[in-house]
Amino acid sequence: MPKKKKLKKKALTAPKDENGKVAKKKFKASEETGNSCSDYCLSRNPSKRISGSADSDEELPIEKKSKQLDKMKSKAAKEDESELRLNIAGQHKYELPSVDEVEKQLKELPNLQIIKDRIHEVVQVLGDFKRRRQDGKSREDYVAILTKDLCSQYGYNEYLMTKFMQLFPQPSELIEFLDANDQQRPVTIRTNTLKTRRGDLAKSLINRGMNVDPAAPWTKVGLVVYDSQVPVGATPEYLAGHYMIQGLNSLLPVMALAPQPGDRVLDMCAAPGGKTSHIASLMKNSGVLFANDANMARCRAVIGNLHRLGVNNAIVSNLSGDEYAKLAPNGFDRVLLDAPCSGTGVIWKDQSVKTSKDSQDIQRKHTMQRQLILAALDAVDAKSPNGGYVVYSTCSVLVEENEAVVNYALQKRHCELVPCGLDVGVEGFSRFREYRFHPSLSLTRRYYPHVHNIDGFFVAKLKKLSNAKMGKASIDIVSYRFSRANFLLAIKTSAVGATKRRVKKKRNQIKNKAKNISGVDEDDGFNKAMSKPTFKRLLVNGCGRSSRIKI
């Protein structure tokens, strides 16, 4: 039988050229240029190359898809390269419309997408103004257009938008702040340590169907509620007073105040009672806590919350804030003043703030806050062994309601700023545009919604140095030397203080000496023997005025 020949299987090899050599270089080059394998095969077989629409039907679907992808890829690469060249060369310049054109467009039905795109372009130009600006246009022109567009986009009046632009000079940060004002803050609660602990409360609420977590590393009583199957304000734990629905920002002033058990504390603007109950829990229901509010309707809310939370060391009053300075001067160890303000830090709660606030309203708030902070300083006792502190706070981010008010208090009372004791927050302003504040204003703390994810807030802590009223000659002393030692030394060596002490000393000597006994006074102004009552003219206040005193 003849043997059958075995068929040899041919191995797959790379394409060969006409001479029979492997075309590795050409195949590799086609891969580097991004051409598909089908293109290479077509180049090897010109007779099968597609040349017209009639032959396009002969292409396989995968070949058509490959060609389309190659075209799209090359087109995108060219566009990216051209855009990159323009950015590198700085040749892309946005043509800014005039203010009249923008106003005309905004009066008509505005196109929000056009406004948004224009804001984006203007922000980019201001970020690299020297290279991107249009010839003949100043920075003020771009800022004016940006102000109008932001007012239209976010719904603010021009006054408030200008204030925010001054507060945040970087447009990108300004837009982050404006976006944060339109976003709702997470729901947070404060554990009432008079009745429970945070861990036990969290377990109970989780069993009720709540998703809770510790709110922040800087608070030991706060919890954040992500979602809940039951209303947060209607659980048995809430009705039993185990927690209070309260923003994290309202915990900060009480932490700065740091009340101690047995203290005598005044909460000057207490409604609705969240901060008051927090103070009571830190005092462990000892001492005396005065909760005051000028609004009678809100006082009822304070009473209800204090009863629910188990606070029994509090007295609720309905008085004007400055009345306590008259009723109980120097009568408290610590005073908390959460002053009424414009609410520019909690705009997400009240959108009407965007259009209702103007310069007159801010000025009225500023005047009221100055009166209240002076009353708070008059009500606190500088001689308290572990107190003498006033904490001033607002839910506003405007400088006129914060640093300007505290700086006024430093000039009008014997006090100094001390560290707040808070681990979070940015420093307050000691210089802001035309304002020049006391250097110690850097000890205050500011909070922003886009930075700390809490409501906009301000906290300052002051230490009262003396219960005496400040004279005109002492204002500059406090303004430039705010330490206690320098302050007391300056008062002792001042001409006004020395003259008053000398007159008081002489009056006491005259009162105690008999009229018929001669004596020699140690003071240079009274070195004659006092053999009989007579009248002498004494220099008072060191300013040329004289008064008659019987000696």
The model's pLDDT over 340-355, given as tens digits with 9 standing for 90+, comes to 999 999 999 999 999 9
Does residue 48 sit within a domain?
no
Contact 280, 314 (CB under 8 A): yes
* Count of C-beta atoms within a 10 Å radius of residue 48: 10
- Cα–Cα dist 290/315, whole Å: 5
Per-residue pLDDT at 316: 96
- CATH number of the domain where residue 201 is located: 3.30.70.1170
User: Which of the listed residues 179, 205, 228 is the one where a domain comes to its end?
Assistant: 179
User: Which of the listed residues 207, 222, 245 is the one where a domain comes to its end?
Assistant: 245
Q: For the segment 139-148, what is each residue's pLDDT rounded down to a tens digit? A: 888 888 889 8
Q: Are residues 159 and 109 in the same domain?
A: yes
379 assigned binding-site residue:
no
Q: For the segment 101-121, what is each residue's pLDDT rounded down to a tens digit? A: 666 666 665 667 888 888 888
Q: Of 418 and 52, which is predicted with more confidence?
A: 418
Does residue 71 sit within a domain?
no
- Cα–Cα dist 138/166, whole Å: 18
Coil, strand or helix at 215: coil
Q: Which residues pair with 225 in a beta bridge?
A: 187, 212
Does residue 133 sit within a domain?
yes
Q: Are residues 173 and 145 in the same domain?
A: yes
Q: Which of 395, 415, 420, 543 is catalytic?
A: 395
Coil, strand or helix at 372: helix
Q: Which of 158, 128, 132 is nearest to 146 (CA)?
A: 158
338 assigned binding-site residue:
yes
Q: Which residues pair with 392 in a beta bridge?
A: 337, 460
Q: Which domain holds residue 219?
A: 187-245
- Cα–Cα dist 374/391, whole Å: 12
User: Which of the listed residues 458, 473, 489 is the one where a domain comes to its end?
Assistant: 489
Distance of CA 64 to the CA centre of its chain: 59
- Cα–Cα dist 282/278, whole Å: 6
- Cα–Cα dist 283/520, whole Å: 56
Contact 153, 123 (CB under 8 A): no
Q: Of 433 and 546, which is predicted with more confidence?
A: 433
Q: Are residues 302 and 319 in the same domain?
A: yes
- Cα–Cα dist 346/326, whole Å: 33
Q: Are residues 216 and 336 in the same domain?
A: no
* Count of C-beta atoms within a 10 Å radius of residue 9: 6
Q: Are residues 269 and 339 in the same domain?
A: yes
Mean pLDDT of 469-498: 47
Contact 315, 290 (CB under 8 A): yes
Residue with tokens 């109008």: 148
DSSP letters along 49-115, please? ---SHHHHTTS-HHHHHHHHHHHHHHHHHHHHHHHHHHHHHT-----PPPHHHHHHHHHS---HHHH
Q: Are residues 270 and 230 in the same domain?
A: no
215 assigned binding-site residue:
no
* Angle formed by the axes of helices 171-181 and 139-154, nearest 10°: 10
Q: Are residues 237 and 298 in the same domain?
A: no
Does residue 46 sit within a domain?
no
Q: Are strands 435-436 and 415-418 parallel, antiparallel or unpaired?
A: unpaired
How many structural domains comprise the chain?
A: 4
Share of the chain above pLDDT 70, in %: 70
- CATH number of the domain where residue 331 is located: 3.40.50.150
Contact 93, 133 (CB under 8 A): yes
274 assigned binding-site residue:
yes
270 assigned binding-site residue:
yes
Instruction: Decide if pLDDT at 442 tops 60.
Output: yes
Q: Are residues 137 and 279 in the same domain?
A: no
293 assigned binding-site residue:
yes
Active site residue 395: yes
Does residue 534 sit within a domain?
yes
- Cα–Cα dist 540/496, whole Å: 8
Burial class (CB in 10 A: 0-12, 13-18, 19+), 258: middle
Q: Are residues 479 and 338 in the same domain?
A: yes
Q: Are residues 325 and 438 in the same domain?
A: yes
Contact 35, 41 (CB under 8 A): no
Per-residue pLDDT at 478: 36
* Phi, psi dihedrals of residue 393, rounded to the nearest 5°: -145, 155
Q: How confident is the model at residue 65 (pLDDT cuts 50, 70, 90)?
A: confident
271 assigned binding-site residue:
yes
Q: For the segment 173-215, what is each residue's pLDDT rounded down to a tens digit? A: 999 999 999 999 999 999 999 999 999 999 999 999 999 999 9
Q: Are residues 166 and 287 in the same domain?
A: no
Residue 538: what residue type?
Answer: L
Question: Would you give the DSSP letter of residue 384?
Answer: -
pTM of the model: 0.69
Does residue 234 sit within a domain?
yes
Does residue 365 sit within a domain?
yes
Encode burial over 175-186: b for 16+ CB neighbours within 10 A, e otherwise: bbbbebbeeebe
- Cα–Cα dist 41/469, whole Å: 99
Mean pLDDT of 44-57: 47
Q: Are residues 211 and 298 in the same domain?
A: no
Contact 178, 203 (CB under 8 A): no
Q: How confident is the model at residue 91 (pLDDT cuts 50, 70, 90)?
A: very low
Contact 256, 392 (CB under 8 A): no
Does residue 47 sit within a domain?
no
Q: How confident is the model at residue 483 (pLDDT cuts 50, 70, 90)?
A: very low
